[in-house]
Amino acid sequence: MNLDTLTIAEARRALDAKEYSALDLTNAYLDAIAKKDPDIHAYLEVWADSARAEATAADAMIAAGKSQPLTGIPLAIKDNILIDGRIASSASKMLENYRASYDATVIKKLKAQGAVFLGRTNMDEFAMGSSTENSAFGPTKNPLDTSRVPGGSSGGSAAAVAAGLALAALGSDTGGSIRQPASHCGLTGLKPTYGAVSRFGLMPMGSSLDQIGPLTRTIDDARTLFEAIRGHDDNDSTSSPDDLYPVRPLRRIVGVPRAFVSSGVEPDVLALYDATLERLKAAGYELRDVEMHNLPFSLPVYYIVCPAEVSTNLARYDGVRYGLHVPAGTVNESYEKTRAAGFGPETRRRIILGTFVLSSGYADAYYRKARAVRDIIRADFETAFSQVDCIAMPTAPGPAFKIGEKTSDPLAMYAEDIFSVTANLAGVPAISIPSGTVVRDGKNLPVGFQLIAPHGGEDILFTIGSGVEKL
Amino acid sequence: MTDKVDIAALAKLARLEISPEEMSTLEKELPEILSFVDAVQKASAGTEHVVPSLRNVTRPDTDPIETGTFTEKVLAVAPARDGDRIAVKQVISRNKKS
């Protein structure tokens, strides 16, 4: 088996054909992690013993003829998804020693299939960031060029898959945190429709934006992992009933928001985007310009709505029920000292920003205004989807950037999310697919092509995406 | 609209202790970020938010969990316990100063 090219589909075939065992496969990944991860730092913790036990149990399932799509498949899990009894830290000092009290719903589903959990992956603290440099435990490096970031916030998950240290991984995407690292590491990354996958057991960041999704080598693998984790969950009131959205017939029309795409993207990335569109056209898709006047407001809206939700969601970390606790004379002093010691700079920045936009006197001008603009952005998508199957954009404005390049300028870092936040604001599904490479400092760096579909339109993304993948 | 942002007041609201160095960094950064997000003012939307297609998401309150089922699990991660309770510093003080 070649871990640098192996897919879930091929591993499934080989496992069921008994060409190798799930234990062989898991051991191969554990060896690769031991050899390569010290240079990449994709993992915060590797669970070698339990992974081998899970692989052995998977082998018994396979031998009994009870193999399911993910039985014996070694996965990496982002550090903000709970696994009963395991540390889940969100790459924060606040939760450095926190052990989860229950399984996230996605984990429960993967356990039922007999998947193998290799370990938990590095991320930007509480999923805030676009480079994984905001981890309290040091940055992850891009396996394709270790002087560069893997993207973020699911950078550890992306780096693990790209370096052959996991067959696939789970990430979470609030404003691009699955798709942008997928783009920077040459992978496929899916942000499902808001409500398609249960958020129960995912540490909340922006509750109206967050979704768990897969990072994989192929679209086929992304579909397999998505099918395994999707579905309504009684424990998440924002998870959707399975038949909420109508199935739309495919018209083979791809929308192009030309004016928005042309602004703020690096020239060779734009050229790759155009080349991919041309290939779609050659494959029989009609390209249609779509007017989406409110898309340029997406990034400002996102950086009001997201910090607002962060400031309320992270109020739970107060050192009382779990996590870090710094003793002090009064309960208020203890809150303030615990939160000062537990949260990193970007987390504190967003809490302060969110507190401001929600504060009396400013909430109308910022938070409520942003919420209303979010509604008209969503309406722009609905109008566009009355004419086209999906909308194509770059995933990010450029390829992976250098470690340290943007850490001192929050607005430059936020600009990474310009194309990806749109789908989170509208709640629609989006996928990033590898579309070629651009050259920086003599190195070929991958660039993603993003497709965005209507609510419940993951199948549209897989179908048209497979077209892009095979072109 | 936002030339002066009172970081100290926001930190107090957010229950967050902030060092003097970070205070001066945030006093510079926050207005920059706010002037960027201020672009939303140019959008042709009011502040009214319409919640579309509401549906009931409350599940039936059946099969209640028996008291004590998760007590040990929850207390196991608490910083301090007192019997079957999480121990917290006194919140309301009898000490009348005014």
Domains with residue ranges and CATH for chain A: 1-471 (3.90.1300.10)
Interface ipTM: 0.94
Cβ contact, residue pair B38, A300, below 8 Å: yes
Is the predicted pLDDT of residue A364 greater than 80, yes or no?
yes
Nearest Cα to Cα of residue A149 among A396, A395, A401, A399: A401
Instruction: Tell me the chain B residues in contact with residue A328 when contact means C-beta distances shorter than 8 Å.
Output: 89
User: Contact at 8 Å (CB) between A89 and A203?
Assistant: no
Assigned domain for B12 exists: yes
Cα distance between residue A280 and residue B79, in whole Å: 57
Number of domains present in the structure of chain B? 1
Assigned domain for B24 exists: yes
Is the predicted pLDDT of residue A23 greater than 90, yes or no?
yes
Mean pLDDT value of segment A62-75 = 98
Interface of B with A in 27-66 (CB under 8 A): 29-30, 32-34, 36-50, 57-59
- A259 by Cβ neighbours in 10 Å (0-12 / 13-18 / 19+) ranks as middle
pLDDT on residue A90: 98
pLDDT on residue B54: 73
Cα distance between residue A314 and residue A406, in whole Å: 25
Q: Cα distance from A227 to chain B (closest Cα, Å)? A: 23
Instruction: Tell me the chain A residues in contact with residue B34 when contact means C-beta distances shorter than 8 Å.
Output: 353, 356, 366
pLDDT on residue B57: 80
Kindly state the tokens that stand for A161: 């898959």
Kindly state the tokens that stand for A212: 């768990």
DSSP letter assigned to residue B67: T
Beta strands A43-46 and A74-78 are unpaired
- Please give the radius of gyration of chain B, using alpha carbons only, rounded to the nearest integer: 23
Assigned domain for B33 exists: yes
Cβ contact, residue pair A372, B45, below 8 Å: yes
pLDDT on residue A162: 98
Question: What pLDDT, in 10s, does the model give residues A127-136?
Answer: 999 999 999 9
Domain of residue B14, CATH code: 1.10.20
Cβ contact, residue pair A411, B32, below 8 Å: yes
Cα distance between residue A449 and residue A459, in whole Å: 17
Beta strands A430-440 and A43-46 are unpaired
Nearest Cα to Cα of residue A325 among A95, A44, A89: A95
Point out the catalytic residue in the list A153, A198, A240, A311: A153
Q: Predicted confidence band at B45 (pLDDT cuts at 50, 70, 90)? A: confident
Assigned domain for B34 exists: yes
Nearest Cα to Cα of residue A121 among A89, A77, A173: A77
Q: Predicted confidence band at B53 (pLDDT cuts at 50, 70, 90)? A: low
Is A131 in the active site?
no
Q: Which domain holds residue B27?
A: 7-42
Is the predicted pLDDT of residue B3 greater than 80, yes or no?
no
Cβ contact, residue pair A303, B26, below 8 Å: no
Q: Predicted confidence band at B63 (pLDDT cuts at 50, 70, 90)? A: confident
Which segments of A22-87 are extended strands (E)? 43-46, 74-78
Is A35 in the active site?
no
Is A78 in the active site?
yes
pLDDT on residue A468: 84
Is the predicted pLDDT of residue B50 greater than 80, yes or no?
no
pTM: 0.96
